[in-house]
Amino acid sequence: MMKRNVKRMEINLPAIAVGDLIRAYDFEPIPGRPDMYVVGIVKEIGWIRNEYIGYTIECVYDTMFAVAGVDSICSRVGRTVYVPVQLMIMEFDGRVTKI
């Protein structure tokens, strides 16, 4: 089993502020599969439904629509999207980045 060196997202939290544009991946990028992510403007940082700390973003770009050709009714563009600051499982470097 390969050990992965994953940066803890709490360290990156101060680097992202309200008003920043961020990219948040749905799944870790791997060769042979299109990258799936949203890009959005951070509107709030804090507790989401008292369940986890996250970013509340207004989505401006959604690869699920652009890459997968999903019907526009399923697009997250123009919608509020909640992005966890850190995942307990499936965390990877660069999952959420300021762009």
Average pLDDT over residues 46-63: 92
User: Is 76 buried (19+), middle (13-18) or exposed (0-12) by CB count in 10 A?
Assistant: buried
Amino acid, res. 67: V
Which regions of the chain does DSSP assign to beta strands (E)? Answer: 21-25, 37-48, 52-62, 80-84, 96-98
C-alpha–C-alpha distance, residues 82 and 19, integer Å:
15
Span 10-24, pLDDT tens digits: 554 558 999 999 999
Q: In what order do the strands lie in the sheet with 96-98?
A: 80-84, 52-62, 37-48, 21-25, 96-98
Per-residue pLDDT reduced to its tens digit, 82-93: 998 877 677 778
- Quick one: tokens of 83? 């992005």
The predicted model scores a pTM of 0.75
